[in-house]
Amino acid sequence: MKNIIEINDSKIITEILNRAFMTVAKQYNFTKENAPTFPAFINSDRIDASLNNGLKMYGYKTNNQIIGCVGYSYYKDQIYFIERLATLPEYRHSGIGKSLMEYAEDRIKDIGGKIAEIHVVDKNATLREWYKKLYYVEMRIEEIKTLPFNSCVMNKELEK
């Protein structure tokens, strides 16, 4: 897809994640104190560490500006995490997130991945429904003791 490029600049990724996830943080009263690892508060050092550990990140570019991103990383047994999906608030509801998800899924299939797994704030029913429209299935709820929310784990079987 011509609008999607690989990105390795942790500062750009961090800026997108911070801005995009801040709306969710405000909605659910997440703060740097009660959810320091939530993407709204993540720092570029943490992104650098993830990139060095195999996270592949892609950005959606328009008018020479990256306005969204998504990443994936290997988990186990042909299962890959899709993570860090974000679209800047002013560009939402225009298909960018769906395009980024499809791109990540295609890259995972290209390297032999069979299942894509995502983790969603369990309270965010709207986002969970959006992923269901992309054929993700709720697998389980995981308790996260270090954060003020649980994670809804959703999977999608990828077909070649």
The residue to which tokens 């050092």 are assigned: 45
Per-residue model confidence as pLDDT tens digits over 83-100: 999 999 999 999 999 999
Q: Which domains, from first to last, does the chain contain? A: 4-157 (3.40.630.30)
Under DSSP, is residue 66 helix (H, G, I), strand (E, B) or coil?
A: strand
Does this model's pTM top 0.85?
A: yes
Per-residue model confidence as pLDDT tens digits over 100-147: 999 999 999 999 999 999 999 999 999 999 999 999 999 999 998 888
Per-residue model confidence as pLDDT tens digits over 15-44: 999 999 999 999 999 999 999 999 999 999
CA quadruple 10, 13, 16, 20: dihedral sign: negative
Spatial distance between the Cα atoms of 112 and 151, rounded to a whole number of angstroms: 26
